Amino acid sequence: MEFQTVVFYFLSTILVLAALGVVLARHPIHAVLYLVLAFFNAGGIWLLLSAEFLAISLVMVYVGAVMVLFLFVVMMLDIDFARLREGFWSYLPVGAVLGVLLAFEMILVLGGPYFGLDAMPAPEAVAASHSNTRELGKVLYTEYAYPFELAAFVLLVAMVAAVSLTLRKRRASKYIDPNTQLAAHREGRVELVKMAAEKEEPDPTAASGADKVVGQ
């Protein structure tokens, strides 16, 4: 067996196990950590395919930024684990039957002759000077300029959606707009109400209504 094949099977085994771990882990933190492991191994497989740029960006962007952020979010969330697992056993039989059936069908198609080496011959090996990054850069801004720009708009949608669903004016903040402060004047704040003089009653509670100042 070639060295590359050994590496491929090594990485793939860990990848599949890690992916199973994401689904089966009892604790979300562990699930996130398994996902990080899965990303690392997927990056390794991409390296084998000489897609260095994608491999590095997968590790840098997903593992370095997205998953760490995700980890913080999961840690900060107060998740009720007992409620999450509620109904697991009652759904299991149906889910297991369907899952096994689906897996069986997928193995029939994907494990069959359609994706073997004779159906899909290996691509020609590229020269050592071949740069994956350069190739990507060439098509990203030319051939794929349209979907590239659209993907930027999808990110914009996500940003706008996140802001519009979560941003709230902080009530506790003591900040006052200087504009409204400067625009304030006496007439806007104080209103003098003319009233007929009232005689003092023996009841002390009635005395308070004499000179009424209405604030804004």
Partner 1 sequence: MNFVVPDLYQASAEIFIAVMVLVLMLATAFARRVARDLAYMLAQFSLIAAIFITLSTLDTQPSVTFGHMFVSDLLGGLLKLMVYSSMIVALLYGRSYLADRKLDRPEYYLLALLMTLGMMVMITSNHMLTLYIGLEMMSLALYALVAFDRDSARSTEAGMKYFILGALASGLLLYGMSMLYGATGTLELLGVASAVKMQAANVPVLLFGLVFIVAGVSFKLGVVPFHMWVPDVYQGAPTPVTLILASVPKLAAFAMAWRLLAWGLFGLSAHWQSMLMFVAAASIILGNLAALAQHDLKRMLAYSGISHMGFMLLGLLAGVVDGDTHHALDAYSSAMFYAVAYVLMSLAAFGMIVLLSRAGFDAGQIDDFKGLNRRSPWFAALMMFVMFSMAGIPFFVGFFAKLAVLQAVVAAGYYWLAGVAVVMSVIGAFYYLRVVKFMYFDEPVDNSPLRAPVDLRLMLSANGLAVAVLGIMPQALMALCEHAMLSSF
Applying CB under 8 A, the residues found at the interface with partner 1 are 105-106, 109-110, 112, 114-115, 119-120, 138-139, 142-147, 149-151, 153-154, 156-158, 160-161, 163-166
Q: Decide: helix, strand or coil at residue 192.
A: strand
Alpha-carbon distance of 75 to 154, in angstroms, equals: 27
Inter-helix orientation angle 28-48/68-76, to 10°: 170
Cα 99 from Cα 76, distance rounded (Å)? 32
**What's the burial of 84, exposed, middle or buried (CB within 10 Å: 0-12/13-18/19+)?**
exposed
**Separation of alpha carbons 107 and 100, rounded Å:** 10
181 phi and psi angles, rounded to 5 deg: -65, -45
**Structure-block tokens of residue 83:** 């409620």
* DSSP-H helix ranges across the chain: 3-24, 28-48, 52-57, 68-76, 81-84, 88-110, 132-140, 145-166, 178-183, 186-189
